[in-house]
Amino acid sequence: MRQTFSQLIQSSQNYCVDDNTSSPSSLSDTKTFIQNEINATVSEIYDLLRDNNTQILPLTSTTVDGQTYYHNPPMTGSIESITITQGNIAYELNCIESQKQWNMLFENTVTSTAIPKYFFPRQHDFGLYPTPNGAYTITMIINSIPYLMDTEDYTSGTIAITNGSRTVTGTDTAFTSTMVNRWLYEETNKVWQRISAYSSTTSLTLETNYINASISGSSYRIGQSPEIPDIFHHMIPFRVGGIYLSTIKRNPNEGQKLLNIFWTGDPNNFKREGKVFGGVLGTLKRIKSRGRGNYQIVDNGIRRTNLFDERWRTTLSE
């Protein structure tokens, strides 16, 4: 089940108990410690998922005449695919994986219209070849990375949403532009949806249409939520509590039990071996055995593009 940053803090505090204690010598207070460890745990789980892709909805952009390289969208871990739209058809661009192959492409002379056929992903940007000679719509599928969570949930006022609409209308609310990309949970139908745009202090736009029965005067929460499959969310507090007890409270035995639950679901499985059915390790096994399923992740297959013949072509025409 998906959880917000505030919910994870509360769950973690339940394991740590003394949630208001400040440490001496300018060390972090317990709540700050918990917040930092929540983000660290999300990053660790994300790293364990490196053999899979964590995908969000497609993102669109527009090319610029004469511009080869473009910055990656925010939260990009890697680019899975790029398509370019011509008329009513979206054409898939081939991915170039090596600098050498990319350089070889630019040994060619391109004539007529320069419509991109290839993309070259780098750490913070990507290149298009041939260099576009106009404004084309490109659509990107990216594998997202976790962002640092640092803001607790917003719950003031009530909201209304109409079936089939993407508009959230607030009463006695003070929505802000910083809420874009956060998650909204409405208490009536108990539905999670991501926020895609801010209009005013009383109006937000959802990422997708609201398909449930219309609501009005509903309680809600808007919060940051880990950008990992929500099946892992309830496990995060176990690691936070385990680290807290093992370090701050100097109680490694009790801390290890919580860490064992985090990894295996069994407080007594100290070796993390044998048949592991629960925890992070058990969940990873299920993901690998069931494939994409409902986890919103896919195997990270290796892309290969053979450009051997391209080096000897002197002219590309459209």
3 state SS of 218: strand
Tell me the pLDDT band of 28, cut-offs 50, 70 and 90: low
pLDDT digits (tens, 9 = 90+) for 59-69: 899 999 999 99
User: Does residue 207 come out as left (phi exceeding 0), alpha (psi in the -120 to 50 range) or beta?
Assistant: alpha
Summarize the confidence of residues 127-135 as an average pLDDT: 91
Query: Which residue did the predictor score with more confidence, 156 or 287?
Result: 156
Q: How many CB atoms lie within 10 A of CB 66?
A: 10
- In one-letter notation, the amino acid at residue 136 is Y
Summarize the confidence of residues 130-140 as an average pLDDT: 91
pLDDT digits (tens, 9 = 90+) for 214-231: 999 999 999 999 988 888
Q: State if pTM tops 0.85.
A: no
Give yes or no for residue 26 having a pLDDT over 80.
no
Q: How many CB atoms lie within 10 A of CB 55?
A: 16
Report the half-sphere exposure of 221 (CA within 13 A, side-chain side). 15
Mean of all residue pLDDT scores within the chain: 84
Lowest mean pLDDT among 8-17, 103-112, 171-180, 220-229: 103-112
Query: Which residue did the predictor score with more confidence, 60 or 173?
Result: 173
Query: Which residue did the predictor score with more confidence, 59 or 289?
Result: 59
Q: Give the pLDDT of residue 3.
A: 87
The CA distance from 184 to 169, in Å, is: 12
- In one-letter notation, the amino acid at residue 212 is N
Q: Which residues pair with 119 in a beta bridge?
A: 95, 128
Give yes or no for residue 77 having a pLDDT over 50.
yes
Q: Give the pLDDT of residue 305.
A: 46
Hey, what domains does the chain have and what are their CATH numbers? 54-145+306-316 (no CATH), 153-223 (2.40.30)
